[in-house]
Amino acid sequence: MRNVDIRYSVFSDVGNREINEDSAGVFHREDGSCFVLCDGLGGHGMGDIASSLVVQVFGSMFENCTDYESFLENAFTASQDILMAKQIETNSLKKMKTTATAVVTDNKKVYLGHIGDSRIYVFRKNKVLLRTLDHSIPQMLVMSKEITEKEIRNHPDRNMLLRVLGIDSDKRMFELHKPLALKKCQAFLLCSDGFWELIEEEDMCSLLEDSGSVEEWLDRMLEIVRTNGARKNMDNYSAIAIWCD
């Protein structure tokens, strides 16, 4: 039996681009859930293959998961290995890349992992308890106090990523976070940069407080995203909103 009731809503849109390179997946078992969102890079149809492939890997591995503690480590590692093998198979080295975010819950804990600039937000009492830090040039500039957090959204180098799946590396590139107690988490938001670049954290929190359902919360955030992106060449924008009751 679950100690916490989990409800969710998923959205993905191509924006003003020709191809939607974002992919999202939700997978359930009796003892837990797995939420994955990826934003593919590479162009020429390769980014969408990369993101969807990673979602598939996570879903397949979650179905057969026997240890929640090690699941994310294994799933991110397998995704990287499979992407590299696929690039060699299709002669598309350096073209099949993706960010990845994952939230996995069992009956008591929440496990978080990410790579790239797709984000996970964790909310508690209508405030941001945690946000994953982007693996990007602008995030490094924030950490060195050269720019502010808000300046990331319009920085000219905001799309320059330092870590993604699909790049050959001897080091572990993805980042895992300390597990959280599920009962202490009010909500989660997984989203691609095409989503978070167009909505401030203050709006996420105020809409969370005022919304009556997880579907309403996501719908109202999407209204702001679309309004702020109306006169721009909107990127693909995707999100998974999760409520814990």
User: Cα–Cα distance between 175 and 117 in angstroms, integer?
Assistant: 12
Helix, strand, coil distribution of the chain in percent, nearest 5: 35, 30, 35
Amino acid found at 111? Y
**Whole-prediction pTM value?**
0.96
pLDDT value for 93: 77
Candidates 239, 117, 133; CA nearest to 190 is 239
Report the DSSP beta bridge partners of residue 161: 136
pLDDT digits (tens, 9 = 90+) for 187-223: 999 999 999 999 999 999 999 999 999 999 999 999 9
CATH for 96: 3.60.40.10
User: What number is the average pLDDT over the span 169-189?
Assistant: 94
With a pLDDT cut of 70, the percent of the chain lying above it is 98
68 is written with which tokens?
A: 């929640």
Provide the mean pLDDT of the chain.
94
Residue 24 in any domain: the answer is yes
In terms of residue numbers, what domain contains 12?
6-244
Phi and psi for 126 in degrees, rounded to 5? 65, 25
Is residue 213, in this structure, part of any structural domain at all?
Answer: yes
Whether residue 41 is predicted with pLDDT greater than 70 in this model: the reply is yes
Q: Considering the domain boundaries, does residue 133 fall inside one? A: yes
Cα 135 from Cα 68, distance rounded (Å): 25
Pair 203, 221: CB distance under 8 Å:
yes
Task: Let me know if residue 169 belongs to a domain.
Answer: yes
Contact of 194 with 22, CB cutoff 8 Å = yes
In this structure, is residue 1 part of a structural domain?
A: no
Domain count, the chain: 1
Distance from C-alpha of 197 to C-alpha of 229, rounded to nearest angstrom: 9
CA distance 142 to 224: 25
